[in-house]
């Protein structure tokens, strides 16, 4: 399999911003987890740190990332429902697909420690997905919610 070795680390200053603060905050938090994982994955791939300790760190960060993504997507889904966003189906489906892919990567890592697969995910697949998704679905969802009276600074209870 052809693996792209280009390492994309997203910068919290330059990621796309949407009109609702709690969404932006969640995205910045996610980026921090992804970047932390990226460092450990690089160290493993370059052969600098293939210790059991690093394997555990990578596993823990993947779990932390998934545990952060589930409520991230749930909150956005709820925002769409509460504000009557017309493209709910499309946006929530993108979330479902992303979560499935995430779980597949984690299982593959748990089963055979395939670092290249994790690297491809964290450095290529996910950054591309994230930029595209935030720039389209999240952007439109936030815009629509604010247009329909949602306070940009409010959190979702």
Give yes or no for a contact between 79 and 135, defined as CB atoms under 8 angstroms apart.
no
Question: Which residue, 102, 75, 67, is CA-closest to 91?
Answer: 75
Residues 45-64 that bind Fe ion (CB under 5 A): none
**Nearest distance from residue 63's CB to Fe ion, in Å?**
19
Encoded tokens for 4: 């792209």
Q: Report in angstroms how near the CB of residue 113 gets to Fe ion at its nearest.
A: 29
99 or 108: CB nearest Fe ion:
99
What residues between 75 and 94 interact with Fe ion by CB under 5 A? 76
Among 62, 102, 118, 138, binds Fe ion (CB under 5 A): 138
| Residue 19 interacts with Fe ion (CB under 5 A): yes or no | no
CA distance 60 to 54: 10
**Interacting residues with Fe ion (CB under 5 A):** 76, 137-138
């Amino acid at each position: 399999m052809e693996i792209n070795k280009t390492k994309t680390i997203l910068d919290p200053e330059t990621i796309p911003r949407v009109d609702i603060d709690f969404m932006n905050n969640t995205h910045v938090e996610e980026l921090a987890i992804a970047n932390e994982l990226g460092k450990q994955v690089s160290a493993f791939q370059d052969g600098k740190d293939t210790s059991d300790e690093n394997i555990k760190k990578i596993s823990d960060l993947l779990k932390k990332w998934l545990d952060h993504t589930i409520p991230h997507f749930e909150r956005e889904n709820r925002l769409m429902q509460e504000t009557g966003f017309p493209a709910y189906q499309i946006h929530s489906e993108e979330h479902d697909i992303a979560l499935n892919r995430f779980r597949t990567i984690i299982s593959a890592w748990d089963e055979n420690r395939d670092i290249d697969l994790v690297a491809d995910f964290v450095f290529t697949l996910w950054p591309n997905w994230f930029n595209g998704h935030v720039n389209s679905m999240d952007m439109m969802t936030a815009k629509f919610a604010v247009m329909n009276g949602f306070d940009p600074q409010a959190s979702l209870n």
